[in-house]
Amino acid sequence: MTNDERATIYGRAMLELRDCKGNIAVLVAYFSEYAARLESASAAAKRFASLPLSIAPDQTAYSDHVKDDNLRLTRSDFSEKVDEMVRLSRRFQELQAQVDRF
């Protein structure tokens, strides 16, 4: 393999690695937002469980908050996002190993 070919392979791996990092960052934000929704839903569910008739500071019944939280917790593409994160993480490791070999 010539130096030019090695440089081309290295350059492509670096570009793909950069893109992979960006895509992972987007998914990290997605799952962070999901985690925040889970925390909020957990707090509302605990409050509702202990005081089923209680009213939230926004003057809405906690029972309504719990119902709304249940509807908004996961989105239709959640499973695909999980699979994509796994795929991208594996690819990132492969690319990082390839770059490290240079």
Closest to 41 (Cα-Cα) out of 16, 69, 61: 69
Q: What is the largest CA-CA distance in the chain?
A: 74
Residue 1 has pLDDT above 90, yes or no: no
- Calpha distance 51→45 (Å, rounded): 10
Integer-rounded Cα Rg, in Å, for the chain is 22
Structurally, how many domains does the chain consist of? 1
Enumerate residues 6+ apart whose C-beta is below 8 A from 91: 16, 20
- Calpha distance 12→92 (Å, rounded): 13
Per-residue pLDDT tens digits for 30-87: 999 999 999 989 988 999 999 999 998 999 898 998 998 888 888 889 999 999 999 9
Whole-prediction pTM? 0.77
**Residue 18, domain extent:** 3-101
